[in-house]
Chain A
Amino acid sequence: MKPNSFEYVRVDTLNDAIAVLQEHGDDARILAGGQSLIPAMNMRLALPEVLVDVSNIGEMHGITIQDGGLRIGAMSRHAEVMKSSKIAEYAPLITMAMPNIAHGAIRNRGTFGGSLCNADPAAELPACALALGVTFNIQGSDGTRSVAAEDFIDGTYSTCLSDDEILVSVDVPAPEAGAVSFFEELARRKGDYAMAGLAAHGVLKDGQFTDMRLVFFAVDEMAVRASSAEQLICGKPLSEIDIDAVCAALADDITPFEDLTTSSAAKMVMMQVLTRRTLEKFIAEGAVN
């Protein structure tokens, strides 16, 4: 359980990091919090020859309000994100998700950007990113570019980042009036990987949902929206939403994979339970407001 030998480079600027990545190509890996990469290295599932420690890069730190929206630096530690009053105000979905990410000692090291770039199908933050429609700000040798949430992760443990690109920050749009969020996952033990999870974000206007995103994770190769189920929720009075039909429609959108502990059928039942809880909560809140 000891990692292979590697060269360690700590950089202070994005340009220096990109230069190292350019030089070493896919032999190099970015080290942020290391809470997924280091276990993989200890088990020799990951064998990077060079680690580029980006923890000192100033532009990757900080949680700020910009142009009415929220910018979260990729190096923000989970513990910092969890306690951030700005995130609680602008993106409560993320605040709700944070306690489900591992345990306190891991959250003190693990980073917001690292979790997104790791693209674990059971991870919470990729689902939140999709539900909130965030934008990923990326820098590489060809300059900067911005990528929409649905284009960032393209498979299990896979993103659109090229070998010399770094995720610098993530922009979360300002919440619309009437925005509602709910997050829940079912895990065998607190802090374990989810068997199934749901990040839901919608907009309630004049007694109807004008937008609803149901993003499931730990059920497919990456976080995935249940589009046909979503359509059954929007554009009708709350009292006319047929929760049974929404739950039934999930099977049209997603065929859950089975994992070591949970069958596909069991995951579908969990998805339905999460959907029901979420909609009942949203409808109860909508009826009050």
Chain B
Amino acid sequence: MNITITVNGEPMVRSVEPRLSLVDFLRAEGLTGTHAGCEHGVCGACTLQLNGQTVRSCLTFAVQCDGQEVTTIEGANFPDLQEAFIENNALQCGFCTPGMLMTANDLLQENSSPTRDEIREAISSNYCRCTGYQSIVDAVEQVAKQRSEVA
């Protein structure tokens, strides 16, 4: 099937098999920042934005995104959040990081000053097998504080 899909601001016209997931579509396009983990919506590694909302790209077929806008980690614009992850060692292997950043960004857009419990609740949708989450919560909390000081 032919679809027109805008990825990180760039329109693409492609022919796809209906069964191709959005994450596999993007990775075949060379956008390998979005990771396929569990492929049944549990681990959160494939989380990205569809029309500005976070979704699981393993639970979305590329054909469903005809005429829609996708933002992947390659097109994301939250350098302070990414910087805070580095500063706080909020990643080790990095597999969960793109999805974790997308989820953290979504939280901070909804709630500019989340408590640590609220951060933990939000990122409970994303698995990290390296950090034990503590440093990820630290990073998100730090960004919330930094942004409130600037604002």
Contact = CB atoms under 8 A, between A and B. Distances in A.
A3 B19 contact: yes
B40 A190 contact: no
A35 interface: yes
B44 A105 contact: yes
Contacts of A31: 64
Most chain B beta-carbon contacts within 10 A, residue among A3, A34, A79, A104 = A104
Contacts of B64: 31, 34, 53, 55
Interface in B58-73: 58-61, 63-64, 66
A39 B19 contact: no
A39 B41 contact: yes
B1 interface: yes
Classify the interface of chain A: helix, strand, loop or mixed.
loop
B106 interface: yes
Interface string A1-32: 11111111010000000000000000000010
Contact of B55 (A1, A4, A42, A105): A105
A283 interface: no
A254 B40 CA distance: 32
Nearest to A190: B124
Contacts of A205: none
Given A2-B19, A191-B124, A109 B60 contact: yes
A106 to B, nearest CB: 6
A68 B38 CA distance: 45
Contacts of B17: 5
B34 interface: no
Given A39-B41, A190-B121, A191-B124, A109 B18 contact: no
10 contacts: A5-B17, A8-B18, A42-B40, A105-B44, A105-B103, A105-B125, A106-B125, A108-B53, A108-B55, A109-B55
